[in-house]
Amino acid sequence: MSARAEAPRRHRHSAGVQLILDFLNRLPPYRWTQSRLVRWGITGRTAVTAIPYLWLLLFFLVPFIIVLKIAFSEARIGMPPYAPLLTWIDGSVAQVNLQLKNFANMFQDSLYAKAYLNSIKVAAVSTLFCLLIGYPMAYAIARAESKWRHILLMLVILPFWTSFLLRVYAWIGILKNNGLINNFLMWTGLIDEPIVMLQTDFAIYVGIVYSYLPFMILPLYSNLEKMDLTLLEAAADLGARPFKTFMTITLPLSLPGIIAGSMLVFIPAVGEFVIPELLGPSDSLMIGKVLWQVFFTKRDWPAASAVAIALLLLLVIPIVLLQRAQAAEARGAHR
Amino acid sequence: MATNPRPQQQLAVWNDPQAVPYVQIDRVTKRFGDFVAVNNVSLKIYKKELFCLLGGSGCGKTTLLRMLAGFEEPTSGKLFIDGVDMTGIPPYERPVNMMFQSYALFPHMTVEQNVAFGLKQDGLPKDEIATRVDDMLKLVRLQQFAKRKPHQLSGGQRQRVALARSLVKRPKLLLLDEPLGALDKKLREHTQFELVNLQEQLGVTFVVVTHDQEEAMTLSSRIGVMNQGEIIQVGTPKDIYEYPNSKFVAEFIGNVNMFEGRLIEDEPDHVRIDSPELGGTIYVDHGVSSAPDATVFAAIRPEKFNISVERPNQTDNVVQGTVKEIAYMGDMSVYLVQLASNKMVRITQPNTYRHAEDSITWDQTVYLSWHASSPVVLSE
């Protein structure tokens, strides 16, 4: 039955695919399965689109719900280190134990607010620096001769081939008191004593800007690369000097790229743990570090989960902005 | 006069040796690596002219235009606009505006902002900008679309925005790169006349680049035909069509039947060409400047033929053939007639009354005749 229903659409398949389908259609188990699936409303198209949804369900929604559940439960010493939400009294009455104190605690203890604010500040400043460094780089790559473009892009992506952790460790070697920079400066005689860079906020910024710069460059590049260059000629023709052309044409038209790049840097930078831990001062207050401490040092899973949930909610806003920017980018590409 | 096939022309500015050219292109060459895009081109364009650069793709016409706009610098040679040497002057300082083939409208600005862009660069007061933008939008009939973004407009409307944007600065010279290329046929014909009207109204000098010979014929005061980076012929549309100076121009502009032959009579007031291809001789009622006995080509336009079933009452310039194809086009019919030498001749006849074409049918033997003034004799 289903085979007949599919018949008018046959011409869509290439000859090879058609051969395989004809063969499969001759096998009773295939026909049986297919007709069952279609009866349940599952066609090939639904099956294909279901894959990303299943992925999100399994690896995002389910873990999120687990974390959410833990955030509402009470900490206890044991395994697992939190009390169940649902308890049975006398084996018949269900009692729900929703704890809001984990969230309330975040408002009472000013440490959390400070950590959130500081994380946002660090992420924002890093994003700004990434933009200031990344924009000219993306612009230069997009305007380079095409034979150079791929090589330059490759150089941007190349660091990803080394472990992120290793690269951050490498910065310790560069920044420490008897590291590369200080040794070089002392050798030239510019300074007599090493400048303390490691375990300062400066080192955190260096680490974050360095690590996330490619995430700024790539979306900016893809935006700038497809920009219609005759628009720039038109602006020049109408009397705009190069700087004016950049400010009135290039910059506004690359805004979707700027937003996409900024979000790709800002969002992970807010929750960054490794870089402040390895490069920053031991008392650096970033939410990623706080989360780690609450989870592993205090072993308070519910409190840590609440911190994570709050962080997620905080980041939903920029994520929505990112999506809008990408939608605008897609519309722009269709014009 | 005898050896000059052209009738006396009306006195036009380009025939006046005293006239000062507005745009002067002086031995300009442009190379891209090994490729010579523009080869030693010299050209004089006068004020208020509508000059068309006509040629196939890759003939260098757009490169020449881009050099006038300042997007490319000549490899050698000089460009003068209104007497000023343009060498080294960037596009944003030239008294020139360009209308781009793609229109290059700024997608993030409204129609109004697009048109105002150029005026803003000049730092004009706000109210003057507003008035001039408004006047310009009125001129191209786009007032009600002032607040729209380019992607909300039709192709024809976008074309008018581009035109308004390039005209609003009152440039000395307006460069138009395939201005009507993106429009459909009906709109194109309509816009052609609009463009000419606008040009006359504003008195701006236009240089138009086009590959469409019909467009060039309709628009221009003069046409410069380009091929492989060189200017082949410069003249009025009529000059170019009726008196092409080479086989290339004759074949590029419109359709033409080319008959190879040999000069057998070479008098100041007439020549006779023996053409085996035609299967007879061609009598031409004007002299040519070719060596006797030289191989020449007689070019005859399809509409210059007369096709008839009866033998026409003339001794010269008649040949017999067989009708092989007939294409009825409505306003005219196209016949492909095979001569004894197997050469196909293309003939167009206007359908001046209904069923005018009915008397001639496939495989019929017909007589082709033409007036002695019609053939153009070309040596190359």
Q: Which two tokens stand for residue B326?
A: 């007939």
CB atoms B107 and A332 under 8 Å:
yes
Q: Which CATH superfamily is domain B258-378 in?
A: Nucleic acid-binding proteins (2.40.50.140)
Where do the DSSP E strands lie in chain A? 86-89, 93-96
pLDDT by residue for chain B (380 residues), tens only, comes to 334 444 444 457 888 888 889 999 999 999 999 999 999 999 999 998 999 999 998 899 999 999 999 999 999 999 999 999 999 999 999 999 999 999 999 999 999 999 999 999 999 999 999 999 999 999 888 999 999 999 999 988 999 999 999 999 989 899 999 988 878 888 888 888 888 888 888 889 999 999 988 889 888 999 999 999 999 999 999 999 999 999 999 988 888 999 999 888 888 888 899 999 888 889 998 877 767 677 889 999 999 999 988 888 888 899 999 999 999 888 888 999 999 999 999 999 988 877 765 678 889 999 999 999 999 988 87
**Alpha carbon of A249: minimum distance to chain B alpha carbons (Å):** 7
d(CA A318, CA A260): 10
User: Which amino acid is it at B177?
Assistant: D
Q: Give the residue from A145, A229, A238, A253 with the most B CB atoms within 10 Å of its CB, the best one to mutate.
A: A238
Q: Which of A51-60, A69-78, A203-212, B24-33 has the lowest mean pLDDT?
A: A69-78
Within a domain: residue A228?
yes
CB atoms B97 and A237 under 8 Å:
yes
Return the axis-axis angle of helices A164-175 and A180-188, rounded to nearest 10°. 30
Q: Give the residue from B98, B172, B177 with the most A CB atoms within 10 Å of its CB, the best one to mutate.
A: B98
- Is the ipTM beyond the 0.85 threshold? no
DSSP string, B313-369: S-SSSEEEEEEEEEEE-SSEEEEEEEETTS-EEEEEEE--STTTTTT--TT-EEEEE
Nearest residue on chain A to B106, alpha-carbon basis: A231
Provide the b/e sequence for B68-97 (b: ≥16 CB within 10 Å).
bbbbbebeebebbbbeeebeebebbebebb
Would an 8 Å CB–CB cutoff place B64 in contact with chain A? no
In this complex, which of B104, B118, B151 lies closest to A239 when CB atoms are compared?
B118
CB atoms A231 and B106 under 8 Å:
yes
Top pLDDT among B202 and A213 is at A213
Within a domain: residue A91?
no
Average pLDDT, chain A: 86
Within a domain: residue A86?
no
Within a domain: residue A161?
yes
Instruction: Domain of residue A284: give its range.
Output: 105-334
**Residue A330 confidence class, pLDDT cut points 50, 70, 90:** low
CB atoms A240 and B121 under 8 Å:
yes
- How many domains are there within chain A? 1
What CA dihedral angle connects A86, A90, A92 and A93, to 10 degrees?
-50
**Alpha carbon of B44: minimum distance to chain A alpha carbons (Å):** 22
Contacts B166 to A, Cβ<8 Å: 237-238
**Alpha carbon of B192: minimum distance to chain A alpha carbons (Å):** 23
Q: How many CB atoms lie within 10 A of CB B283?
A: 17
**Where are the CATH 3.40.50.300 domain residues in chain B?**
13-249
Within a domain: residue A23?
no
Q: How many CB pairs below 8 Å do chains A and B form together?
A: 62
Q: pTM score, two decimals?
A: 0.79
Residue A134 contacts residue A220 (beta carbons within 8 Å): yes
Return the pLDDT at B356. 63
d(CA B51, CA B44): 10
Q: Which of A76-85, A197-206, B128-137, B249-258 has the lowest mean pLDDT?
A: A76-85
Q: Which two tokens stand for residue A205?
A: 């910024």
Q: How many CB atoms lie within 10 A of CB A34?
A: 19
Would an 8 Å CB–CB cutoff place A328 in contact with chain B? no
CB atoms A240 and B92 under 8 Å:
yes
CATH assignment of the domain containing A307:
1.10.3720.10
Confidence check: pLDDT of A229 > 50:
yes
B13-249: CATH topology? Rossmann fold (3.40.50)
In this complex, which of B69, B102, B121 lies closest to A244 when CB atoms are compared?
B121
**Where are the CATH 2.40.50.140 domain residues in chain B?**
258-378
d(CA A154, CA A141): 11
d(CA B151, CA B88): 36
Would an 8 Å CB–CB cutoff place B90 in contact with chain A? yes
